[in-house]
Structure 1
């Protein structure tokens, strides 16, 4: 490759690599998540997640303490820190204080299965 073309080609390749991490996550099914979105919706009501978040499909979920969860499945990051993957989302739901100490989201007593169910529900929010 000529030195004249090498610079632009390298710049394009570096840009492609940088933007690859910004791609929207693909839609994942409940089976891939290991959770049940219907149970997740029930758990969101039981745990009063709507006291802090706007959550589409959850009645009375109009809280403004935490971010709205509208379009959550399209997000690439969780809490601005973790890539939006099912294991990371379940981990965030289970122990947000261990990930970002002092943040406004409390640790709630859930089983890993319940966290997976809630994550599966959030993945339905396109």
Structure 2
């Protein structure tokens, strides 16, 4: 095989590997621990959350369909990493948000996001 043909084949092979891949649907974290953390951090005081009991509140948006939303907080692409960022420090993303920083640990935020983005309960 000549060098030019080899170069073309190599380029085509590399380009084939660069095709858009769908985002991973595998969530990290423990959803059951996330459900418990959502209750411990009193998230239900402001949000309707599937699988959690509490008052019927309308302060924050309902989180019943969070996995179906395109954006978090109106501007962040909806994925687990961004949801963890939002849960941990919402003011760093939107300084005017009413959502308070609740002192949620990285682990708890990961678990909470696994519950919120997982199959609805």
Report the TM-score range of the alignment, normalised by the length of the smaller protein. 0.7 to 0.9
Could you list the per-position Cα deviations for residues 53-106 of structure 1 after superposition, in whole angstroms to 9, with x for gaps in the alignment? 011110115221100001111111001100001110100000001110121100
Indicate the residue corresponding to 1:42 in structure 2.
36
- How big is the alpha-carbon RMSD for the aligned residues of Structure 1 and Structure 2? 1.8
Q: 1:84 aligns with which of 78, 84, 87?
A: 78
Which residue of structure 1 aligns with residue 116 of structure 2?
Answer: 122
Q: Tell me if structure 2 keeps the 8 A contact 1:90–1:112.
A: yes
Change in 2 beyond 3 A, CA 1:98/1:35: same
The answer to whether the 8 Å contact 1:56/1:125 transfers is no
- CA distance in 1 between partners of 2:55 and 2:99 (Å): 15
TM-score, normalised relative to structure 1 = 0.72
Separation in 2, partners of 1:34, 1:44: 16
CA displacement at 1:44 relative to structure 2 = 0.7
Write the distance in 1 (CA, Å) between the matches of 2:24 and 2:68. 8
**What is the aligned residue count?**
99
Q: Provide runs of 4+ in structure 1 moved above 4 Å.
A: none
Q: Which has the larger radius of gyration?
A: 2
The residue aligned with 1:20 is: none
> Quick one: distance in 2 between partners of 1:116 and 1:33?
9
Residue aligned with 1:33, SS: coil
Task: Return the TM-score normalized by structure 2.
Answer: 0.75
